[in-house]
């Protein structure tokens, strides 16, 4: 009894953590009514990824570029959310169109529940139950999200901080010196990545992405995650100083951390220059990224991936200046071969994908998932990372889903419900204590057999099933399937 009580306390704590993880997902405009209508029919989806604009809206392509649903809706030539003048239908996915055609009401949500709006073989209700987008054919209950870990600002600031003074050398914009503070990327990833991990891709909410190998790479444009970068020197010249030459200068020396430095001084960072997940710049939190009136990203926070120069060089003239490459005009003319590391520095970073993605798992829609992280000041790392925390969370979720299900959903209302929860408790402990093979066998050969009939071609409960309500059984089945896919990564 004592052990069981302890397990109950542990599961309760894990449940609280699970809620904290998924609640970042809600993102929609204030004043709109459709979110409330959807949640009145599906109240348990509050805070999940479905509590989001892209439940009904889609992105698009224009000018050879891809746009997420937020930017697509705000484009003046598509709809123009701020001052609407386009056709809203141009922004709706198949589920949003079905909802609108049915009357945009509670009755409409209910009327299309058993429709397969995106044609992927699963009804809207089945996809919603599994937290999949009913308007996206590439997102269905058979797809398993890759292992992930969400970091809050408070969690990041509890990790050992690193401060470094450095040059941010751009290609088209003004260069600048600054002192960034944050968590070294090596420190952030080292304890959670799998041995198979080889590289990362960092994403901004507007879809901008940047590739980085984990280990040093001889290619000058690939900025590595692990290890330190070359020591640099401080470069100063009056011609480059924007303060002195506001129209022709190209380097901003105004940061407080520049004070007292003279040309030729070594830049001393006691712990070396590192690729940094920056949280502050010159002691101030980074300004959060927003969509500006031109529908482009402004700001660099709450987090920015900051790689130092691999080959330290002076701030060179920006490419847009007149005679930019003429050494007779500029002390440091534009140099195509210079190390413009700032261009490889993802502003307002929201997602870090660790490659390769484990077998059986799917990617995040990077054009849709970013903006909620900006508002919540969070960043997610996903892919080839330790899946055990996610497995434990999903076991808690399955345990709670069974506990919440009405007793009439079970063949033997009391005995089956209690027995299933106890079996999940056993698996939870096996995973917690590192017995992954035994945990996988218990799920595959025992638990799954009690809830798999409705997901087979017959579409009805089989003789071994303990859950007789097919809709509830499918919910349990697909969640259990997710657990099994994640278990195979470590088993």
pLDDT single digits (tens) 407-444:
999 999 999 999 999 999 999 999 999 999 999 999 99
Same domain? For 313 and 436 the reply is no
Is residue 239 located within the same domain as residue 270?
yes
Task: Tell me, yes or no, whether 77 lies in a domain.
Answer: no
What total of structural domains would you count in the chain? 3
Mean pLDDT computed over 253-274? 95
For residues 309 and 230, the answer to whether their CB atoms sit within 8 Å is yes
Q: How confident is the model at residue 164 (pLDDT cuts 50, 70, 90)?
A: very high
**Domain shared by 118 and 184, yes or no:** no
272 located within any domain: yes
Two structure tokens written together for 301: 């926070």
> 373 and 391 share a domain?
no
The pLDDT > 70 percentage for the chain reads 92
Residues 6+ apart with CB under 8 A from 368: 52, 54, 59, 68, 69
383/354 Cα distance (integer angstroms): 5
DSSP 379: E
- Same domain, yes or no, for 468 and 325? no
The residue among 81, 113, 142 that closes a domain is: 142
- Residues 210, 137 share a domain: no
Count, residues in the chain: 491
Q: Which domain holds residue 425?
A: 387-491
User: Residue 10: is its pLDDT beyond 50?
Assistant: no
Whole-number mean pLDDT of the chain?
A: 88
Mean pLDDT, range 69-91, rounded to an integer: 79
Instruction: Express each pLDDT in 326-366 by its tens digit.
Output: 999 999 999 998 999 999 999 999 999 999 999 888 888 77
C-alpha–C-alpha distance, residues 150 and 105, integer Å? 34
Q: According to DSSP H, which parts of 269-387 are helical?
A: 371-376
Q: Is the backbone of residue 63 left (phi > 0), alpha (psi -120 to 50) or beta?
A: left
- Nearest of 182, 200, 203, 180 to residue 192 by alpha carbon: 200
Co-location of 408 and 275 in the same domain: no
Query: Which of 159, 166, 154 lies closest to 190, judged by CA?
Result: 159
Token pair, residue 330, equals: 């500029």
> Packing angle between helix 2-22 and helix 388-404, nearest 10 degrees?
100
């Amino acid at each position: 009894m004592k052990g069981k009580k302890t397990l109950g306390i542990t599961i309760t704590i894990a449940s609280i953590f699970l809620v904290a993880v998924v609640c970042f997902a809600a993102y929609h405009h204030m004043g709109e009514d459709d979110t409330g209508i959807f949640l009145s029919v599906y109240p348990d989806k509050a805070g999940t990824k479905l509590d989001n604009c892209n439940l009904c809206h889609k992105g698009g392509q224009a000018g050879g570029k891809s746009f997420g649903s937020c930017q697509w809706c705000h484009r003046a030539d598509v709809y123009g959310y701020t001052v609407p003048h386009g056709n809203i239908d141009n922004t709706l996915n198949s589920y949003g169109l079905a909802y609108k055609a049915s009357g945009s009401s509670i009755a409409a949500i209910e009327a299309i529940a058993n429709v397969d709006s995106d044609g992927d073989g699963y009804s809207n209700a089945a996809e919603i139950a599994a937290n999949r987008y009913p308007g996206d054919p590439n997102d269905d209950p058979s797809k398993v999200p890759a292992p992930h870990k969400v970091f809050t600002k408070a969690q990041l600031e509890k990790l050992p901080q690193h401060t470094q003074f450095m040059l941010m050398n751009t290609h088209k914009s003004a260069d600048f010196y600054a002192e960034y503070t944050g968590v070294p990327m090596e420190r952030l990833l080292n304890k959670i990545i799998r041995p198979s991990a080889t590289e990362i891709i960092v994403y901004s909410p507007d879809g901008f992405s940047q590739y980085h190998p984990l280990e040093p790479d001889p290619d000058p444009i690939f900025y590595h995650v692990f290890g330190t970068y070359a020591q640099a020197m401080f470069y100063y010249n009056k011609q480059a100083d924007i303060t002195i030459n506001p129209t022709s200068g190209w380097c901003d020396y105004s940061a407080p951390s520049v004070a007292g430095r003279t040309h030729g001084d070594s830049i001393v960072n006691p712990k070396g220059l590192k690729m940094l997940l920056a949280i502050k710049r010159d002691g101030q939190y980074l300004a959060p990224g927003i969509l500006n009136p031109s529908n482009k990203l402004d700001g660099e926070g709450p987090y920015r991936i900051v790689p130092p120069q691999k080959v330290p060089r002076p701030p060179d003239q920006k490419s847009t200046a007149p005679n930019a490459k003429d050494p007779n005009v500029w002390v440091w003319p534009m140099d195509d071969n210079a190390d413009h590391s700032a261009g490889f520095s993802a502003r307002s970073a929201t997602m870090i994908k660790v490659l390769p993605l484990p077998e059986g798992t799917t990617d995040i829609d990077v054009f849709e998932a970013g903006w909620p992280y900006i508002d919540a000041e969070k960043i997610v790392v996903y892919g080839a990372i330790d899946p055990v925390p996610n497995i434990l969370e999903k076991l808690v979720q399955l345990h709670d889903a069974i506990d919440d299900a009405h007793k009439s959903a079970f063949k033997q209302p009391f005995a089956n419900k209690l027995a299933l929860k106890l079996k999940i408790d056993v698996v939870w402990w096996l995973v917690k204590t590192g017995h992954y093979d035994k945990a996988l066998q218990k799920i595959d050969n025992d638990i799954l057999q009690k809830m798999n009939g409705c997901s087979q071609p017959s579409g009805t409960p089989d003789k071994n099933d303990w859950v007789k309500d097919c809709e509830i059984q499918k919910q349990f089945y697909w969640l259990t399937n997710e657990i099994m896919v994640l278990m195979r990564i470590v088993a």
